[in-house]
């Protein structure tokens, strides 16, 4: 049965960020992820994870000025030093939070930069980050993002992302497969997951259209969950969606997969 991680950047936004850890645990999650931890004290974050019995499965590398609309700088030739500094900061946080993987957002193609120059910069930055992270025991991911939500995003489909990963020559980079982004850009979800399964390091979800919770759109999530089980996926699936109403009201899809409920069912089955 799949294991899910609440994305605390997108879910429980009715609450301040630091209050979302307890809310996720109360809702039945045993794992969380979020975009960026860097504005918070890492000791405080570690304490919240421990106090609520939560595991952190993922956060992103620093991605430039998010508030100003930047969505990553890894493909920006003029910001290599800033990217490398961000890698060190990510290692510091991921180590303190016992986070096994960090994700790289390639960014929007900068004005005046050719696609070839951006690709070369991205490959070199990924190669550097993968090596530094591997030394710290942390995996690196590269995520394709759809260009409807983020026009101009440089890596927007599975195959180009995998080609870039291969070009680094690193064994410490895998694909972050966001089902929502993939459905928008290319579809063919189950076949892609099956074909590229060994190169996928993390999976995220949201339904389409709307980027809301499973069951609100066109994606057959029960089928995909069963297929992931059949393939032997053992990682978490990050719930990176915008609740259609409130987070709690939209969690009916999650009820059959709650870890505590699974444990109770297993215990009842054993006792009978």
Angle at 182 between CA 257 and CA 117, to 5 degrees: 135
Residue 241, sorted as left (phi over 0), alpha (psi -120 to 50) or beta, turns out to be beta
**173-208 b/e with 16+ CB inside 10 Å = b?**
bbbbbbbbbbbbbeeebeebbeebeeebbbbbbbbb
Contact in structure between 127 and 169 (CB atoms under 8 Å): yes
What distances in angstroms separate CA 45 from CA 5, 9, 12, 14, 22, one per listed residue? 16, 14, 16, 19, 12
What is the rounded distance in angstroms from the CA atom of residue 104 to the CA atom of residue 81? 15
What distances in angstroms separate CA 130 from CA 61, 101, 167, one per listed residue? 12, 11, 13
pLDDT at 258: 82
pLDDT at 245: 96
Do you find a cis peptide bond into 209, omega within 30 degrees of 0?
yes
SS3 38: coil
pLDDT at 149: 97
pLDDT at 1: 82
What is the rounded distance in angstroms from the CA atom of residue 150 to the CA atom of residue 227? 29
Q: Catalogue the active-site residues.
A: 143, 240
What is the rounded distance in angstroms from the CA atom of residue 216 to the CA atom of residue 198? 29
**pTM attached to this predicted model:** 0.93
The kind and range of the H/E element at 18 are none
pLDDT by residue, tens only, the chain of 272 residues: 899 999 999 999 999 999 999 999 999 999 999 999 999 999 999 999 999 999 999 999 999 999 999 999 999 999 999 999 999 999 999 999 999 999 999 999 999 999 999 999 999 999 999 999 999 999 999 999 999 999 999 999 999 999 999 999 999 999 999 999 999 999 999 999 999 999 999 999 999 999 999 999 999 999 999 999 999 999 999 999 999 999 999 999 999 988 655 554 455 455 54
Domain coordinates of the chain in residue numbers? 3-271
Going by their DSSP bridges, the two strands 3-7 and 31-33 should be labelled as parallel
What is the rounded distance in angstroms from the CA atom of residue 107 to the CA atom of residue 214? 27
Residue 160's contacts (CB-CB under 8 Å, 6 or more residues apart) are: 144
Cβ neighbours of 116 (radius 10 Å): 8
Indicate the CATH number for domain 3-271.
3.20.20.150
What is the rounded distance in angstroms from the CA atom of residue 106 to the CA atom of residue 129? 12
């Amino acid at each position: 049965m799949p294991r899910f991680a609440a994305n605390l950047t997108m879910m429980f936004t009715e609450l301040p960020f630091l209050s979302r850890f307890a809310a996720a645990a109360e809702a039945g999650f045993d794992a969380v992820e979020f975009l960026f931890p860097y504005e918070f004290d890492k000791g405080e974050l570690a304490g919240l994870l421990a106090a609520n019995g939560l595991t952190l499965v993922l956060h992103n590398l620093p991605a430039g000025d998010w508030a100003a609309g930047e969505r990553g700088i890894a493909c920006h030739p003029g910001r290599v030093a800033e990217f490398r500094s961000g890698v060190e900061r990510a290692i510091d946080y991921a180590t303190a939070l016992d986070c096994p993987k960090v994700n790289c957002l390639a960014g929007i193609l900068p004005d005046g930069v050719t696609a070839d120059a951006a690709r070369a910069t991205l490959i070199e930055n990924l190669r550097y980050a993968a090596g530094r992270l591997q030394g710290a025991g942390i995996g690196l991911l590269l995520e394709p993002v759809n260009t409807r939500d983020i026009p101009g995003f440089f890596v927007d489909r599975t195959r180009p992302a995998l080609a870039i990963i291969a070009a680094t020559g690193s064994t410490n980079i895998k694909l972050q497969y966001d089902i929502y982004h993939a459905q928008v850009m290319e579809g063919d979800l189950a076949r892609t997951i099956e074909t590229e399964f060994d190169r996928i390091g993390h999976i995220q979800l949201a339904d389409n259209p709307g980027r809301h919770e499973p069951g609100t759109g066109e994606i057959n999530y029960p089928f995909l969950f069963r297929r992931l089980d059949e393939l032997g996926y053992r990682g978490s699936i990050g719930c990176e969606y915008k609740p259609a109403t409130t987070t709690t009201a939209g969690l009916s899809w999650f009820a059959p997969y709650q870890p505590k409920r699974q444990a109770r069912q297993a215990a009842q089955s054993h006792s009978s």
